[in-house]
Amino acid sequence: MFLDLDETKKLDIQKNKGNFLIEFQVKNVASERIATQKILSVIGECLDHFGPGCVSVQKILHARCPLVRFSHQASGFQCDLTTNNRIAMKSSELLYIYGSLDARVRALVCSVRCWARAHSLTSSIPGAWITNFSLTVMVIFFLQRRSPPILPTLDTLMTLADEEDECVIEGNNCTFIRDLNKIKPLENTESLEVLLKEFFEYFGNFAFNKNSINIRQGREQNKPDSSPLHIQNPFETSLNISKNVNQSQLQRFVELARESAWVLQQEEAAAPCPPSKQPWGLAALLLPSIAQNKKVQKKLPSERIKSLLESVKNNIARSATHT
């Protein structure tokens, strides 16, 4: 949710009350960011003390985009409340448009996000993890790269836009076509199974060390900075939406992607055989990582060696006693 304070500037804030003229003003502060932090702090206190069903209120005011996070008991929803965050709203609208263009988009996004959560690649706690938004943009980029493509680039959606679709927010061009009927369907008939396997293969071999992900143009570009993972913000193009991701988390993602591609390839090769009772398809990808099992297996030989050494010592001790 976001509170659009810009809209209040268009309202008549002068009210007559009897013989008095009441005017509502916000005190001058050093910057708009500080004003936002103060407003959200007050809202957070109100929600905490008076919001019906609002619990676990957190005021995260020093984030790049200050917010108040809380849970709503009646609906079970977790909410992030920001102010004047219209670009984020346009980003959500863009994801809705992409998800509506082809039935495979939402299914693939859901599968990848479920896979990432099962392997702790994502987390509800802020940190160095890949976010769900980053994963969704990666899926969109992958579908733009198919031959033929499944999704159009953001630049293509911009060229199809009408005058009523034009939108510029804080100097950022956020224009794109919003009428789905004016977007021509693309002729790609690949199955979801194929797309899931190809997604893992594509990003398991992606040159993250030098290339950036850009859904505006739908092609790989040279990274403008040294961040391990660089995904260009669709509208604020100078920003990297995955700047928080560190090298170790990216490496885990790559290893798990390669492993998952291998699992799906093995299943594809054994397709004529009847399925066993073992999990297969997406369910198999949600099991504990093979890489983790390998780490356990590596410890087994050392344990065996220890037991052998112990038995040797015992035998030597017995021999010495008999002698």
pLDDT band at 217 (very low <50, low <70, confident <90, very high): very high
Residue with the bigger pLDDT between 92 and 6: it is 92
CB 235 within 8 A of CB 270: no
Which DSSP category does 258 fall into? H
Provide the pLDDT for residue 52.
Answer: 94
Cβ burial, residue 320 (10 Å; 0-12/13-18/19+): exposed
pLDDT band at 63 (very low <50, low <70, confident <90, very high): confident
Residue with the bigger pLDDT between 83 and 317: it is 83
Query: What's the rounded mean pLDDT across residues 122-129?
Result: 86
**Angstrom distance (rounded) from CA 101 to CA 106:** 10
Q: How much is the pTM? A: 0.77
DSSP of 55-120? EEEEEETTSSS-EEEEEETTTTEEEEEEES-HHHHHHHHHHHHHHHH-HHHHHHHHHHHHHHHHTT
- Average pLDDT of the chain is 85
Residue with the bigger pLDDT between 186 and 80: it is 80
Provide the pLDDT for residue 296.
Answer: 34
Look at residue 315 and tell me whether its pLDDT is greater than 70.
no
Query: What's the rounded mean pLDDT across residues 245-268?
Result: 92
Provide the pLDDT for residue 302.
Answer: 45
pLDDT band at 295 (very low <50, low <70, confident <90, very high): very low
Provide the pLDDT for residue 125.
Answer: 80
Domains and CATH numbers, the chain: 2-10+23-84 (no CATH), 87-269 (1.10.1410.10)
Residue 148: cis peptide before it, omega within 30 degrees of 0: yes
Look at residue 313 and tell me whether its pLDDT is greater than 80.
no
Q: What percent of the chain has pLDDT over 70?
A: 81
The three-class DSSP label of residue 167 is coil
Query: What's the rounded mean pLDDT across residues 119-137?
Result: 91
pLDDT band at 294 (very low <50, low <70, confident <90, very high): very low
Query: What's the rounded mean pLDDT across residues 234-244?
Result: 93
Q: How far is CA 266 from CA 20, 96, 116, 237, in A?
A: 80, 34, 21, 40
**Angstrom distance (rounded) from CA 263 to CA 191:** 17
Q: How far is CA 33 from CA 29, 178, 193, 238, 302, in A?
A: 9, 31, 46, 19, 57
**Angstrom distance (rounded) from CA 121 to CA 134:** 12
